[in-house]
């Protein structure tokens, strides 16, 4: 397969953008005094690659019927999506400072009726892949060639509805559907496999008829390559991105306490220092 669709400069540009997004995520959750940093930070490279290199989208025409679709099934990780949309130009970055405020367009879970560039309201875990199946099937029926991307959490895949959607996607041969699972291994109450084991994860997806690509979800080259290769598959494809909850922040990494908690001023300063040092 052709690996020449991104350059070294593209990778560096995207890594720098991911750093900006991590700054945004931490700052907006700090100002809101609430939010979900852990799963936002683990998904940063994935969302950055999609919004700044992979997806066919236009901030000047957010409702273009031929645009690629994105569903954030793990809707609580919306700070990373809000940052990407703002950085991409869908709305003013000043809005990021209003996260979770009354009358803000940026609520604790994404609302498609309020946020420009948002394709679907999400929040109730397990629903996103079914929505993605509907979007992909609609595109095929209307002879449109857009791709549909759905980002799930690995803990979310404990939901039975995910596997009903996976079965339906294979039944309908939806090669225009790409799922990405943010496999950070941690959910709100602890380690995913201690609470309800999802492994053998790869075998499960293959048993449902999906093509499977496994990557390091923080390696931008691997993320870009996987998302490119997924478009060439003849079946629905899932990218299993192995990530770290709270990636880049020393006291948040692999710590379920930071699934849904806001840093105080001292912790914010340390978090910003950590991500800067990690980017050097």
Distance in angstroms (rounded) separating the CA atoms of residues 190 and 157:
15
Amino acid 1: pLDDT: 36
* Digit-coded pLDDT (tens) for 48-93: 999 999 999 999 999 999 999 999 999 999 999 999 999 999 999 9
Average pLDDT estimate for 123-150: 97
Angle (nearest 5°) at CA 46 between 19 and 28: 45
- pTM of the complete model beyond 0.85: yes
Q: In this model, does residue 259 exceed pLDDT 90?
A: yes
In terms of pLDDT, which residue wins out, 279 or 210? Answer: 210
pLDDT range class, residue 2, cuts 50, 70, 90 = very low
Residue whose C-alpha is closest to residue 279's, from 22, 8, 6, 10: 22
* Digit-coded pLDDT (tens) for 212-241: 999 999 999 999 999 999 999 999 999 999
* Digit-coded pLDDT (tens) for 9-58: 999 999 999 999 999 999 999 999 999 999 999 999 999 999 999 999 99
CATH 3.40.50.970 fits 8-279, yes or no: yes
């Amino acid at each position: 397969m052709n690996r020449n669709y991104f350059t070294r400069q593209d990778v560096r540009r995207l890594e720098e953008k991911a750093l900006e997004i991590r700054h945004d995520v931490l700052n907006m959750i700090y100002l809101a005094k609430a939010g979900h940093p852990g799963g936002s930070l683990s998904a940063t490279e994935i969302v950055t690659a999609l919004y700044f290199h992979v997806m066919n989208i236009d901030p000047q025409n957010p409702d273009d019927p031929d645009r690629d679709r994105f569903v954030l099934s793990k809707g609580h990780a919306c700070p990373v999506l809000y940052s990407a949309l703002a950085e991409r130009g869908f709305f003013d970055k000043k809005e990021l400072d209003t996260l979770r405020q009354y009358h803000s367009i940026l609520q604790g879970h994404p609302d498609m009726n309020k946020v420009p560039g948002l394709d679907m309201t999400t929040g109730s875990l397990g629903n996103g892949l079914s929505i993605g199946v509907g979007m992909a099937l609609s595109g095929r029926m209307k002879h449109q060639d857009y791709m549909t991307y759905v980002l799930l959490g690995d803990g979310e895949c404990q939901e039975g509805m995910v596997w009903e959607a996976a079965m339906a996607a294979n039944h309908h041969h939806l090669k225009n559907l790409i799922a990405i699972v943010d496999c950070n291994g941690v959910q709100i109450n602890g380690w995913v496999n201690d609470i309800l084991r999802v492994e053998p994860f790869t075998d499960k997806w293959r048993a449902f008829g999906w093509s499977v690509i496994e990557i390091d979800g923080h390696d931008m080259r691997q993320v870009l390559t996987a998302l490119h290769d997924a478009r060439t598959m003849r079946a629905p494809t899932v990218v299993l991105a192995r990530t770290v909850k709270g990636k880049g922040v020393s006291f948040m990494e692999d710590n379920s306490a930071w699934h849904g908690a806001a840093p105080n001023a001292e912790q914010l300063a340390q978090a910003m220092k950590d991500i800067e040092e990690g980017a050097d």
